[in-house]
Amino acid sequence: MAPSRREFLKSCGALGAMIVSFSTTYALSGGGQGQFDTRASHIDPEKLDSWLAVGADGIITACTGKCDFGQGIFTAQTQLVAEELCVPITRVKLIQCDTSVTPDQGSTSGSQSTPTNFNTENLALAAASAREALLGLASKELGEPADQLTLTNGVISTRTGRGVTYERLVGGKQFNIPLNTAAKRRSVAQWTVLGKPVPSLDRADLMTGQFEFLQSVRVPGMLHARVVRPPEMGATVVHVDEQSVQHIPGLKKVVVRKDFVGVVAETQYQAILAARQLVVRWHSGPELPPQKQFFEHLQKQPSHDVLSVDSQDVEARLGAANKIVRARYTYPYQMHGSVGTSCAVADVKPGGATIWSATQSAYPTRSIIAKLLNMPPDNVRVIYVRGSGCYGLNGADAVSFDAAVLSQAVGSPVRLQFSRQDEMMWENFGSACVVEHRAALAPDGHIVAWDREDWVASLGNRPGYDQPGNVISGMLLGYEPEPLKPGPAKPPSGKLRNQSNAVPSYFAGCISGTCGGGGTIRSERALTHTVRSPFFTGPLRSPLRIQNTFANECFMDELCAHAKADPVAFRLNHLQDYRTIGVIKAAAGGGNWQARSSRRTRPRTGVVSGRGIACVAYEGGNGYAALIAYVDVNLETGVVRPSRFVIALDCGPISNPDGLQNQIEGGILQGMSRSLVEEVTWNEKHVTSVDWETYSSLHLDYEMPPIESVFVTPPGVPATGAGETSITVTPAAIGNAIFDATGARLRELPFTPERVKAALREAQGQGKQA
């Protein structure tokens, strides 16, 4: 059975006295179903002792429900605690995402970690509450008013020099108080630890090979496992011939549970052999839609419709317009393509289970595993350990479910690592979608009406607290994905959040954080059709935001070209939101943008150069970015090479400039790969992009162009996310730069040489006709 929280905390030495009261009735946000919601647990997030403690040695141990998987939040959260308690970061020990000790903060996703923990609640509030409590205790100890005391390096002092340490005041004891909602945060002007470019605290270990990833976790008595996935989408088990692998030495068990099949052996090699040689007969699944006609197929399927904004006059305005511009954009399925395959270790015993997992959703994963094992959630402990690189939903959750089921079946600890094909064929892909635009231009070039309609392929998602079937493991075990309920769209009511960036920033119905006034276009409609996907889908860095922004910003560029206007000036003329305007101006200034019309004579041979801009108010108000991409296009080969990027980013107060720069550069690099080469492929039965030969991504030796960043920091605004803003604008900026260089408009990703050459031929043909 997993150790109790009391036992775990005692094992942490200085944290030993921080024992919280168990509560099964409190839920931080009402026990909702979304990926950012939480549920009641044994750790009460209203209690200060649930978040941090001061040890007898002066070390401050803090607990967070937001994990670091490469985005640097471990370092930033450590800085946050150190800042609020006025100690160096070396005095802070951070524990992340262990369900026996950390509060439930839902999933680490959606660029929500910084808004969640750095603004007014959760970790920041806990650290500020602790500071206020310590000042109160020191005031009594020193006989001085709290507002007359100073804090330096864990010592609270009077003006005369008398002082008392944190550990003397509370070291090894509980605070025994609730979070103080009135606790005053330290202002940006007071920062001494936050705001500094602190290198990632794990950087040295990562660079020297000393960092322990999940794949290296070992447990006494541990066996090894492999899964046997269906050969095609929708296939079901007919018969498993266990005799076909009985000759393999070290084989412990063949596990069959409904359509889930796995093998357990003494070594990983033996498990691999057994998985390869196990004979399984399957019922064939349904035939997949042809890839070449997939987007047309998508637009003909039953759908669940959402009308995000509707001024109810779009058709009339379009009907009366002299000039209407139309365009259709398509975005393919793409995968996480983690370099290392997903892994988990599970130790399931009759009384409880411990799972070491790279999930970004520790508490939801605990709930799902408890359901799969028919075990109370409090008897399941999930410990986050960093695994294969992922911003979204690769195989980390599925492998954790599988490992738990296999461990329970064999009665021993089990380590499971997916094969390359397991990972790439069955992960939750980023959704494919189609976006169609219609817009009317006035004689002066201003946009007077814009109609936007998109079709999104969806199946599954994060499993949350009670949807095992949202990933392949749960479906094979007999659970269905979240149902898609087709139905017509209802008229929009009230102000809706623009969480998927389906609503262009130029609509009057879109301001920061809500739909309701960010642009100048008042005749507007945005309609989304969600269609059942033939493949599992889920969050992939900037889920649907990157797809929608690609279509929105490229179409905005098309409208600009028709208006014979400069792309920067044209955008500014259609915006009212000051923060979006701010990043556009900052990027243009940083890139020394010179105004010009996109309609001009271009060379017909050789290598041509161009520039393009794209901007986004991420999720309507969770970060702002404008990116200028400079590209070189070889007109003979169709190869596109980005040569320079200039990005302006506004995420409010910056907790760590070094970490922010890393996120910007990583986002643009991944965005380049998704723009230029990445695309899932399939035939009539199964996915065919199942390894690095068949699924393209930029190679590790790709020559990265220089990236120049401009940080925009308006005063008096809260912190927002930053991990997904730069990737969101990268495809559109590159696409617009290709048009600027060549006069050819690409409306389908990725921008492969074949597609570039086809667009060049089309543009040249249109030029001859003109």
pLDDT digits (tens, 9 = 90+) for 144-159: 999 999 999 999 999 9
Amino acid at 83: E
* Residue 15 binned pLDDT confidence (cut-offs 50, 70, 90): very low
Q: Within the chain, how many helices (H) and strands (E) appear?
A: 19, 24
CA atoms within 13 A of residue 705's CA, in its CB half-sphere: 22
Handedness of CA 421, 429, 329, 446 (dihedral sign): negative
pLDDT at 19 over 90: no
**Structure letter (DSSP) for residue 98:** B
Q: Are 401 and 368 in contact (CB under 8 A)?
A: yes
Q: What is the pLDDT of residue 760?
A: 96
| Distance between CA atoms of residues 667 and 178, nearest Å | 39
| Distance between CA atoms of residues 735 and 611, nearest Å | 9
Instruction: Render pLDDT for 748-758 as a digit per residue (tens, 0 to 9).
Output: 999 999 999 99
Of the two residues 734 and 514, the one the predictor is more confident about is 734
Q: What is the pLDDT of residue 25?
A: 26
Q: What is the pLDDT of residue 538?
A: 97
Alpha helices per DSSP H over 208-358: 268-277, 294-298, 314-320
| Distance between CA atoms of residues 677 and 639, nearest Å | 11
Q: Which of the residue ranges 141-155, 223-237, 479-493 would you say has the lowest mean pLDDT?
A: 479-493
> What's the predicted TM-score (pTM) here?
0.93
Radius of gyration from C-alpha coordinates of the chain: 27
Mean local confidence (pLDDT), 568-575: 97
Q: Which of the residue ranges 269-278, 489-498, 503-512, 520-529 would you say has the lowest mean pLDDT?
A: 489-498
Amino acid at 78: T
Mean local confidence (pLDDT), 562-571: 96
Instruction: Render pLDDT for 273-298 as a digit per residue (tens, 0 to 9).
Output: 999 999 999 999 999 999 999 999 99
Q: What is the pLDDT of residue 498?
A: 79
Q: What is the pLDDT of residue 517?
A: 54
